[in-house]
Structure 1
């Protein structure tokens, strides 16, 4: 797997990735309405991330020269934030997500920063994965829970 910076040419892939993640939510709607709502949620999510995290690192994940996912991270005053991680459905369940999270944890550890992320309340599988990796719950709403991983102190510190 290879990472590269996201570019405007990736927009069709990113929309398809979003549709793969959220299409079931709108599956009962007529295709024109479903497509409109998918486009609006895609554009809204993208804009929200860009406004909240103007200095974020947006990366496309590739395997064999083809895009398979994306990861968005931000290094800010409160630590490193894993904003979004998404893989094509056929690439899930192979340990790639766990590998990406471990790489992000390594980055946080090297910088001596906590790693923050938010998990949707309707995604218990992701929450179990994060807690297995050592993340602990923070603030929660009905829709999301913030999880935080703090790197262990260096020996002798």
Structure 2
């Protein structure tokens, strides 16, 4: 497994398909020096303050080992639509998504050692995750996801907008990877993110202060 994992199957229509977690395209190349631990911690505090301005029962905290079952379930939920046409049992699909989650987690921690791995909570109950890494010359939004019941309430938008504001103040970019057919593409387009290039199975998007000025 040189940076990617590929699984192939045949659907009911016998069309050949593939699902892949591609680690190589997610590497933080050309991002420069990371911020200090203190600066990264202040970023987390700032995001919490932004959330509670409109969602007083929502907060962020550091990810813990005991969060793994929830995070595996969240990852499986995010991939559910993609895997819906696959002629696998639910147990086999869950085994697959659990293994993909483990590979993704290992990759993030290897390539983003200074990253913030945060769990989104509502009234003390985990409802999502946001992973980010702040560098001197860019902020990388590595991952953001919410359970289905909590989507469409503006939580993700608040977090992304606050990261945009931080990038504006620092005069840096905000970047991320997203699948071409991910519904979040509509949000990013509305907020002014621009397509930079294709990186394997992902679109690499960038927001700059001048993009919406």
| Alignment TM-score, normalising by the size of structure 2 | 0.66
Structural mapping, 1:63-78, within 5 Å: 63-78=122-137
Structural mapping, 1:4-153, within 5 Å: 4-27=61-84, 28-123=87-182, 125-141=183-199, 143-152=201-210
Partners of 1:9 and 1:107 in 2: CA distance: 31
- Structure number with the bigger relative contact order (C-alpha 8 A, sep ≥ 6) is 2
Task: Give unpaired runs (5+ residues) of structure 2.
Answer: 1-57
TM-aligned CA distance change 1:137 to 1:13, over 3 Å? same
Structure 1 stretch displaced more, 13-22 or 25-34: 25-34
Structure number with greater Rg is 2
Displacement of 1:66 in angstroms is 0.8
Task: Give unpaired runs (5+ residues) of structure 1.
Answer: none
Q: Residue 142 of structure 2 aligns to a residue in which SS?
A: strand
TM-aligned CA distance change 1:131 to 1:31, over 3 Å? closer
Partners of 1:54 and 1:23 in 2: CA distance: 29
Q: In 2, are the aligned partners of 1:121 and 1:142 still within 8 Å (CA)?
A: no
Deviations 1:69-126 (CA, angstroms, capped at 9, x unpaired): 1100001254100000000000011111111111211222233221001110122x32
Q: Residue 2 of structure 1 aligns to a residue in which SS?
A: strand
Partners of 1:137 and 1:21 in 2: CA distance: 22
Partners of 2:185 and 2:105 in 1: CA distance: 22
Q: Residue 37 of structure 1 aligns to a residue in which SS?
A: helix
Partners of 1:61 and 1:5 in 2: CA distance: 9
